[in-house]
Amino acid sequence: MGEDVVPFNRPYATGRELGYIQEAIDVSETAAGGPFARRCEAWLADHHGSAAALLTHSGTGALELAALLAGVGPGDEVIMPSFTYTTTASAFALRGAVPVFVDVREDTLRIDADLVAGAITPRTKAVVPVHYAGAAVDMDPLLELAREHGLMVIEDAAHALPSDYRGRPLGSLGHLGALSFHETKNLTCGEGGALLVNDESLAKRARVLFDKGTDRARFLRGEVDRYTWRDVGSSFAASEISAAYLWAQIESVDEITASRRAVWDTYHAAFAALEDDGRLRRPSMGTDGAHNAHLYGLQVTGPPGRDEVIDALAARGVQAVFHYVPLHLSEAGRRHARAHGDLAVSERVSGRLVRLPLWAHMPAAPVQRVIRAVHEALGAEAPATARP
């Protein structure tokens, strides 16, 4: 991408990553489970108040481990929004379960308990709330509904570190929580993730499944003289190289979050008048907790339409992108899942959403350039601070 283009994402590096990676190489510990992985897992467990945190090779791996640990299988149903990433659903479809898609709220683009309640059947085994854009689903009524029906709650918190819900970190409220450290996430190691185990009764088996179905953890603690195959499992763990990179990011979590929020807040203030004029809809992050400024997505109410706006931004050197195609409209969604009710909001939002460039320590000049480009793409006069 040319230097004159404002990219959608620029992964942030603290400057300590290479040193930590070299440290891992120097002590000849580059596979999973080394000192950096243990540091990351300890911090994640402590931050979330979880019984355990398991550092995985991806957010997808965390979801697949969660589905395995939840014991879902053929005949089971798992309720989730259609407006989400593919692996939210495929992790459960891989176990033979049927994802059941419901719509999202018009104001927040996140699921709520009323939508889930209508989709529950005798086959429902779990519900997967997705904390879209790093802001919280209204969890208390959802957790109460899950308790009433004996459902497992698995939070897809891929967007959501370090966001919270009424003071409780996202990913810590359900039985299980999945995080992502993909290069587009606030904290990154290129590819990575973590499973948060919040139910103490699941922690022992989670470690066995994580360790390829073996009791390796007990062996390392000296509790058995050898380890062997105990349960189903797979190779879920992240390498020590990834963990070393991630540890540098975790050390700077407050700095990274503050810098992203500053960009998010600048955008939000700059586009208020356009929303008042009916040209677009700004994101609603709710009032139930602090969000992490994971992304800034505008809904273009048009004309011009979403695609025209993206093209107009590209012509001005700004890389903006759309987001999810609702899963109930996909080929695999029709084959492996089912939709419950009218999913009109998901379909409407999918055709309107434009995500703007946003990264940690994004300089003021490209931020103002994006603001100016959005106004021009919508045929509006840019605010004074966004003019050349």
All residues at 6 or more sequence positions from 359 whose CB lies less than 8 Å from its CB, including other chains: 9, 10, 11, 12, 260, 263
Determine the Cα–Cα distance for residues 178 and 168; give it in Å rounded to an integer.
15
Residue 2's pLDDT is what?
Answer: 54
Residue 288's pLDDT is what?
Answer: 86
Q: Which DSSP letter does residue 208 get?
A: H
Question: Looking at the chain, which residues constitute the CATH 3.90.1150.10 domain(s)?
Answer: 253-386
Residue 1's pLDDT is what?
Answer: 53
The residue type at 63: L
Write out the CATH class of domain 17-251: alpha beta
Determine the Cα–Cα distance for residues 259 and 191; give it in Å rounded to an integer.
22
Residue 155's pLDDT is what?
Answer: 98
With residue 19 as reference, give the H or E element that holds it: helix 17-26
Which CATH number is associated with domain 253-386?
3.90.1150.10
Residue 152: beta bridge partners? 126
Residue 388's pLDDT is what?
Answer: 44
Mean pLDDT of the chain: 95
Residue 211's pLDDT is what?
Answer: 95
pLDDT tens for each residue of 29-54: 899 999 999 999 999 999 999 999 99
Determine the Cα–Cα distance for residues 49 and 230; give it in Å rounded to an integer.
28
| Nearest in space to 160 (alpha carbons), one of 298, 293, 13 | 293
- Helix axis angle for 35-48 and 17-26, nearest 10°, is 130
Say whether 56 sits in a helix, a strand or coil: strand
Residue 164's pLDDT is what?
Answer: 98
Determine the Cα–Cα distance for residues 37 and 243; give it in Å rounded to an integer.
5
Q: How confident is the chain (388 residues) per 10-residue block, as mean pLDDT?
A: 84 98 94 96 98 98 98 97 98 98 95 96 98 97 98 98 98 98 98 98 97 89 90 96 98 98 98 96 90 97 93 98 96 97 96 98 97 96 68
Question: Looking at the chain, which residues constitute the CATH 3.40.640.10 domain(s)?
Answer: 17-251
Helices and strands, counts by H and E, the chain? 15, 13
Determine the Cα–Cα distance for residues 169 and 224; give it in Å rounded to an integer.
35
Residue 160's pLDDT is what?
Answer: 98
